[in-house]
């Protein structure tokens, strides 16, 4: 009985430690985005249940809006990912993944309505493949520009951001 109680106590401590690490994380492991093979690759939002199966996304969603400044801080991270998380992309970085997760988290269930005001400078009318448009945008403006735009929008709106569970996206009141 003592061994059973000791084992149970150790398991609970390990789980609490793992939860604390996720809760207090300063970054997410985006360089090793862990989608269940092929579930996050085509069209859809990364937070959609049934579309993207990923423990990393589960961690991000569990943090709620506290995940937003962490993701913003990762936009300038140029470490390559293990593999691209989107089909047809030749390569991706941690910063790319952070920026795309942020965009998806503020994209309404209609896949058209973007719910974070103040980021109009990040949208252009490029008709080329998405990876070409993104690469061209970064060459022109840089990752720091993208990060500063997100940071300014966050600072202006952070007290009014809430999670809409039905639409599975953030909104601004």
Would you kindly state where each structural domain of the chain is located, as residue ranges? 2-172
Residues 118/94, Cβ–Cβ less than 8 Å: no
Judge if pTM exceeds 0.75: yes
| Token couple for 55 | 């423990």
Distance CA 122, CA 114 (A): 12
Work out whether the CA dihedral 33, 35, 41, 45 comes out positive or negative.
negative
pLDDT, tens digit only, all 173 positions of the chain: 444 333 333 443 444 434 334 445 689 999 988 877 766 766 678 898 778 888 999 999 999 999 999 999 999 999 999 888 888 889 999 999 999 999 999 999 998 999 999 999 998 889 999 999 999 999 999 999 999 999 999 999 999 999 999 999 999 99
Please report where in the chains the tokens 């793992």 appear, as a residue: 18
- What residues contact 63, with CB distance under 8 A and at least 6 apart? 22, 23, 25, 70
Which is nearest to 74 in space by CA: 155, 22, 151?
Answer: 151
Give whole-number Cα distances, 151 to 35, 70, 102, 116, 172, in Å. 27, 11, 11, 11, 15
């Amino acid at each position: 009985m003592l061994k059973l109680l000791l084992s149970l106590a150790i398991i609970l401590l390990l789980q609490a430690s793992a939860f604390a690490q996720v809760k207090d994380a300063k970054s997410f492991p985006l360089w090793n985005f862990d989608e269940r093979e092929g579930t996050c690759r085509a069209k859809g939002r990364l937070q959609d249940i049934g579309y993207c199966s990923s423990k990393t996304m589960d961690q991000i969603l569990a943090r709620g809006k506290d995940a937003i400044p962490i993701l913003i801080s990762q936009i300038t991270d140029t470490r390559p990912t293990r593999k691209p998380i989107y089909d047809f992309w030749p390569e991706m970085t941690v910063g790319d993944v952070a920026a795309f997760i942020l965009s998806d988290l503020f994209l309404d269930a209609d896949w058209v309505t973007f719910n974070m005001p103040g980021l109009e400078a990040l949208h252009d009318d490029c008709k080329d493949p998405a990876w070409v448009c993104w690469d061209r945008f970064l060459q022109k403006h840089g990752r720091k520009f993208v990060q500063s735009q997100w940071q300014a929008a966050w600072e202006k709106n952070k007290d009014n951001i809430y999670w809409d569970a039905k639409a599975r996206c953030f909104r601004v009141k």
